[in-house]
Structure 1
Amino acid sequence: MSQQPFSRPGAIDLSALKRPAPSAPPAGAGAPAGAPGGAPGSGSSYAVSVTEQNFQETIEASVTAPVVLVLYSPGRSPESATYAEDVAAAVAAYEGRFLAALVDVDVTPQIAQALQVQQIPLLMVLLDGRPATQPIPGVLQADELSTLLNQLAQQLTAQGISGRHQPRQAGSAADGEEDEEYVDPRYAPAQDALAEGDVDRAVAEYEKLVAANPADAEAAAGLAMAKVLQRVQGVDLYAARAAAAAAPDDLDAQTLVADLDLYGGHVEDAFTRLVDLVRRTSGKERDAAREHLLGLFAAVGNDDARVLKGRQALASALY
């Protein structure tokens, strides 16, 4: 599945939404969103059931951190309701980096009309009140969903976007109050530094966290990504690529282009470049290429499907 980087194509048009008094859903349409047993993801602290009444507030919550909007229809596509549950569960694992917003279009067809939705299920990622990726129709498999969220989380870090959604009560919808930004206080100094563009300070702050607790996986991932940002600062992309093409076995040239690939979202290209370098080199250079690749694995996240594939390729290159 091809992933799209964050973009800002334009704010969502809400003009198609009417705001009549709430009425009972049609027979067979299922329980209203938020009703007991009626909404997928009702056990997640980072999921909301979207209605016409809270749709605007849900979109505004994307100013804090991305909102993963899923439109589903239990009546027309029972598997789409299961998919909505799967998305909510996947989002919950990121502890506030994303908020799952679940729209039952059987109950609230006006939202689907406002978004000009042609196919169910449909997933959209919103940031700053606007679509941040192209809409993704159909059901994503678990590994595809993990890849999408991992890549978006990586891009958030690279762009210095550090906000987090606060946990919601199980099955709750946005209550009309603006979602307050939440940043884990342990990571706040490093994330503030990234937001200010001070990558060197971010590296130093993450290093403190890792030194204090080597088992802190999020701090280790933050440090690895911050080091990538540190290494690519001020680099001329075209000159770097030309140097790597001219010297395919030069460790510094190849690792720099791998960093640039990762920073630009070409994760698999970065991994492949370094796996090939490991395969061609020996001794200290091979060890250095391997260590650099392990650092890129940490930056992306060890649970990412691309990292698992990259580790298999690395093992093959080594043995």
Structure 2
Amino acid sequence: MKHEERETEYNVSTVVHFVLLGFSELPNLQGFLSGVFSIIYMVILIGNSLIVIITRLDPALHKPMYFFLAHFSILEICYVSVTLPRYLVSLWTQDKSISPLSCATQLCFFLILGTTESFLLAVISYDRYVAICNPLHYPVVMTPKKCHQLSIGSWIGEMPVEKGQTWQIFSLHFCHSNQINHFFCDIPPIFKLACGDTSVHEVSVYVVVILVGAVPCVLILVSYSKIIATILRFPTAQGRTKAFSTCSSHLLVVVLFFGSASITYFRPKSSHSAGTDKLISLFYTIVTPMINPVIYTLRNQDVIAALRRLFLKT
């Protein structure tokens, strides 16, 4: 596809549409990728929807922990739906073009939902901290009103920031190429197409990422350091095992999400390569939403029991 551009009044060539290359370096595997990603998307939809259903239908799961888990599953469905269906359509139709407005919209929702995930993971760690470290105060602290406030804050608190960041990124002139070497519109590959010096914009991105990513991550680490210290003081091995089992599921999700996202956004610019960036992005955009239901069900006896009751009824 040709590089379409137009001349601005400043005599700078400006891209009028983008091309998402995806995994075009693997031409013989396009059909295979289409099949694999279609299956993965269905697994994500079914697995996370099942968690939402059982947490709503089973009275034993009407607790703050599972209230947040249901929100997390809804988030994962939305998160993967921002990127994967668009890429699947491009694989099926071989039309890889995307307008700047569509690209900006995809990036904006991707950033908003990614930040929401960061906040929700911090909220879940706070819930576990109160439940384990202050169990007598748990019913008073984690009231239904408080749970709704925390969930709503996680969903909408970051919207103005991410909208502003998206506007800032797409206020740049793009003249190097119109080919985004990625399977969705993400910040690093978009910056590579921009004209002139983007250092100021990159610094602003790092500042926002630190605020919405690193700060929640630090809060999670602090919460779990206190949780682990409390668990180690439990008098019985059975109590310690149950507490560790509940918390380890959440910690594994935290490591997968924050670890892969940190590698993408905090690596030195010189070490970025399109192939590596795409593989790492697969972890926090597709792999993590796919394995989250497995992590939370296999390591949580309450969820397993609820699933058994659901399937026995049917």
Query: Do the structures match in fold with TM over 0.5?
Result: no
Which one has more relative contact order, counting CA pairs under 8 Å at least 6 apart?
2
Higher helix share: 2
Normalised-by-shorter TM-score class? under 0.3
Q: TM-score if structure 2 supplies the norm length?
A: 0.27
